[in-house]
Amino acid sequence: MSVAETIDNATMSRDEETQIMTAIEKWLERDVRPVVKKYDHADEYPFPIVEQMKEMGLFGAIVHPAYGGLGMSAQTYSRVVIKISEVWMALTGIFNSHLIMATLVQRFGTEDQKKRFLPRFSTGELRGGLGLTEPDAGTDLQGIRTRADKKGDHYVVNGSKTWISNGIHGSAYAVLVKTDPAAEPKHKGMTFFIMEKDKGFTVSRKLEKLGYHSIDSAELVFSDYKVPAANLVGGVEGQGFYQAAGGLEIGRINVAARGVGLASASLKDAVRYSQVRKTFGKPICQHQAIQLKLGDMATKVEAARLLVESAARAYDRGERCDMEAGMAKLFASEAAVECSLEAMRIHGGYGYSKEFDVERYFRDAPLMCIGEGTNEIQRIIIARQMVARNPV
């Protein structure tokens, strides 16, 4: 049974979630785990696996069933991301950036835009991601320079974006641009468009990375690119900054869930290895030094998991959850880095070998501290929300 066949309405029961998780676990063990090293070491895009993800409905995971999606809650979605990330974190990036784009349309798009785009997003016919970062503007979104000028029934776009996930193999992107560069404050002049690849829209190069292999990160260049005015998300200029904040909540929950998956995989591998590796006549898990490491790792994994659950529940209730998502993302990503390093140390020289998965966890984990807003920014968001929610 495919994942898509296990749900046919907007309310998912516990049994349906169990069926989905079982189907994903079987798929991971049968089709993914045996080929992870092959794709990761070659930094090769996993076309066959992406096709399987399309068939399973993962590109429409959180899209409402009315538009062909699975209609997963954020809680179910985060559990799926954790499970996949335990085997291969990069796969979750292929559909996460895509689903942030879908979330923008689902939450803020016009009814026409929902009907035109969401069914095609759900099937993976249109697949892509989010175009925010520029060479001189990452965390500071108000500093973007890509510009869209209205010309009748379309806009002409000029500028560039960088570090865009799915930039090479994707076909559509939610791109943040300036429609009014003179606006004050600056965020009021920012607007999202859904842009499909066409004349004037090119990919300049693939960006090489330390980890997070097999998912393409690229530079996108717009040179007199024409996008229909009908593709302006929500139909009103100047809403882009607000929409980005709403879309990034689910993105940060995803990144936090990825952190839990990486930390959990690191812990499981460390526990397993510590029982078979012997020194001084006994398994190293019996040495107090190793026990201290495992105890800390296990506690961090469980704490990170609970923070993700808390953020996902707030999201599902329709509450503002930038603080909760920020806390989850901050803690889980740092836990991933710390647990991957400890797992490498527990494995000794083998942890540094490409024959073991531990070295991949170690390469992949730092991205979680940077992607979807740096952890430094998360701390500021958390602090500001704490003050705002607790006025004197």
Nearest to 375 by CA among 322, 332, 325, 330: 330
Cis peptide bond N-terminal to 185, omega within 30:
yes
pLDDT above 90 covers a percentage of the chain that reads 90
Q: What is the pLDDT of residue 7?
A: 40
pLDDT score for 8: 40
Name 148's bridge partners. Answer: 157
Q: Please name which of 57, 89, 87, 86 lies closest in space to residue 72, comparing C-alpha atoms.
A: 57
Which stretches of the chain score pLDDT less than 50? 1-10
Catalytic-labelled residue, pool 16, 237, 342, 372: 372
Domains and CATH numbers, the chain: 3-123 (1.10.540.10), 128-238 (2.40.110.10), 242-389 (1.20.140.10)
pLDDT digits (tens, 9 = 90+) for 246-295: 788 999 999 999 999 999 999 999 999 999 999 999 999 999 999 999 99
**pLDDT of res. 11:** 55
Looking at 152-276, which runs of residues are DSSP E strands?
Answer: 154-165, 172-178, 190-196, 201-206, 217-228
58 Ramachandran zone, left/alpha/beta (phi>0; psi -120 to 50): alpha
What per-residue confidence (pLDDT) applies to 15?
A: 83
- State the Cα–Cα distance between residues 323 and 386, nearest whole angstrom: 8
Give the Cβ contact number of residue 23 at 10 Å: 17
Residue 373: name the closest of 177, 109, 130 by CA: 130
Structure tokens of 242? 């607000």
Does residue 86 have an active-site annotation? Answer: no
Q: Report pLDDT for 142.
A: 86
CA distance 191 to 209: 29
Q: Could you read off the pLDDT of 197-214 as tens digits, one per residue?
A: 999 999 998 999 999 999
